[in-house]
């Protein structure tokens, strides 16, 4: 016995009201995200089923996938989530078929809504922090919100497939926290077909373990968000923390392999950086690996300058940072962080 369920996700906001894809739209189930959730109980496919309603722009893009590859920026406003519940409660299904509102149907509807929120938030987490689509925000609990779970059943258009093969809306009234949504506007990096496939694995881990994006990704996304709101000070501060986080990641993998160094933990690394100074540590590491990873002097100098600026911000609370200057710092740090993380991921039992 199994039960089919559908939900609609919407990525609302202001210019753009979408996630951004490149050269393809996941309109076929075969191109959707296939995820297994809650230890395999729920099998979900996430795709764009209605081009007219779910496209975030009005251009008439071709239906041919080969022609679609020529369009580098495609906005997807919404996604359909088709779920197969492999272990539904027979009594709950019977109550749904009879249109009876019971504690069982209330609980089931709430569980489905919460699953939809987690899938939505997993997708947002990926697109915001890995693709810098920083206008996206997760759905967050807010007891004072007017968006109650009862409202969300309608908001997600939660529906189940009855024994006659017809989709029925969840009629149960459910209790629980509401949500609040807030969005920012900016234009981030689009996600191509190959990267889209990675989102499924990320969403599975997010729903099952709440495993979020690495701290440096979150901090860099925050930096772009601050730039979007013209706050250069906070943009620089969070970018520098991202740089420090990436340095710690690399050092934690490389230093223990060097003679005389103990196993690195967070406390040890914090003490090392605090004792030597972040700028000194960053300069030593970046200058050492620069040639082997293709890092140029301008990017290193700009990143080091950002650290000095961050220190001045801390000591001079009224210091204002020009947004153009802040963008230059964030761009350089973003490039450096990417290289540091790649170097950490490929680190073997060798020294720098």
Domains of the chain: 3-212 (no CATH), 216-345 (1.20.120.330)
pLDDT in tens, 86-136: 999 999 999 898 888 888 888 888 889 889 989 999 999 999 999 989 888
80 pLDDT more than 60: yes
For the beta carbon of residue 8, count every other beta carbon within 10 angstroms: 18
pLDDT-based confidence at residue 316 (cuts at 50, 70, 90): confident
**What pLDDT does residue 295 have?**
84
Calculate mean pLDDT across residues 22-48.
93
The pLDDT value given to residue 179:
38
pLDDT at site 182? 33
Q: What is the pLDDT of residue 341?
A: 87
Q: Which residues contact 307 (CB under 8 A, 6 or more apart)?
A: 240, 243, 278, 279, 282
pLDDT (average), residues 278-282 = 87
How far is Cα 87 from Cα 92, in angstroms, rounded to an integer?
11
Residues 6+ apart with CB under 8 A from 221: 128, 129, 132, 134, 213
The pLDDT assigned to 151 comes to 64
- pLDDT over threshold 90, residue 32: yes
Q: Is residue 1 scored above 60 in pLDDT?
A: yes
- Which of the residue ranges 16-20, 240-244, 324-328 would you say has the lowest mean pLDDT? 16-20
The whole-number pLDDT of residue 312 equals 87
The count of C-alpha atoms lying within 13 angstroms of the C-alpha of 193, restricted to the half-sphere facing its C-beta, is: 15
Hey, what are 139's tokens? 């759905």
Predicted confidence band at 163 (pLDDT cuts at 50, 70, 90)?
A: very high
Q: What is the pTM of this model?
A: 0.59
Residue 27's DSSP bridge partners are none
What pLDDT does residue 138 have? 83
Residue 266 pLDDT greater than 80, yes or no: no
DSSP type of residue 161: E
pLDDT tens digits for 294-313? 888 898 999 999 999 998 88
More confident residue, 351 or 300: 300
Q: What is the pLDDT of residue 10?
A: 87
Average pLDDT of the residues in 223-249: 89
When pLDDT is cut at 50, 70 and 90, the band that residue 237 belongs to is very high
Look at residue 183 in the predicted model and tell me its pLDDT. Answer: 33
Q: Tell me the pLDDT tens digit for each residue of 165-219.
A: 998 888 544 444 443 333 333 456 788 888 888 898 898 888 888 888 888 889 9
């Amino acid at each position: 016995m199994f039960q089919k369920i559908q939900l609609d996700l919407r990525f609302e906001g202001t210019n753009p009201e979408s996630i951004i894809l490149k050269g393809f739209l996941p309109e076929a189930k075969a191109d959707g995200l296939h995820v297994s959730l809650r230890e395999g109980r729920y099998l979900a496919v996430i795709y764009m089923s209605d081009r007219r309603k779910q496209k975030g722009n009005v251009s008439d893009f071709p239906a041919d996938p080969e022609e679609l590859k020529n369009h580098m920026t495609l906005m997807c406003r919404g996604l359909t989530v088709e779920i197969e519940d492999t272990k539904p409660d027979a009594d709950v299904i019977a109550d749904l078929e009879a249109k009876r509102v019971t504690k069982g149907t209330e609980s089931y509807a709430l569980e489905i809504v919460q699953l939809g929120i987690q899938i939505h938030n997993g997708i947002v987490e990926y697109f915001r922090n890995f693709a810098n689509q920083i206008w996206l925000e997760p759905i967050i609990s807010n007891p004072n919100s007017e968006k109650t779970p009862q409202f969300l059943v309608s908001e997600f258009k939660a529906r189940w497939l009855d024994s006659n093969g017809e989709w029925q809306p969840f009629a149960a009234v459910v209790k629980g926290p509401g949500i609040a949504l807030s969005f920012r506007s900016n234009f981030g990096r689009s996600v191509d077909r190959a990267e889209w496939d990675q989102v499924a694995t990320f969403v599975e881990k997010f729903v099952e373990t709440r495993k979020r994006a690495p701290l440096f990704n979150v901090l860099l996304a925050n930096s772009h968000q601050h730039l979007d709101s013209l706050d250069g000070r906070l943009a620089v501060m969070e970018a520098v923390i991202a740089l420090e986080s990436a340095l710690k990641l690399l050092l934690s993998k490389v230093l223990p392999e060097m003679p005389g160094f103990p196993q690195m933990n967070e406390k040890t690394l914090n003490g090392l950086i605090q004792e030597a100074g972040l700028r000194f540590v960053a300069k030593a590491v970046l200058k050492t690996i620069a040639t082997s990873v293709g890092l140029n002097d301008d990017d290193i100098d700009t990143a080091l300058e950002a650290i000095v600026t961050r220190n001045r911000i801390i000591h001079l609370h009224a210091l204002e940072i020009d947004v153009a200057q802040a963008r230059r710092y964030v761009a350089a740090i973003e490039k450096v962080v990417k290289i540091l993380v790649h170097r950490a991921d490929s680190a073997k039992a060798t020294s720098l």
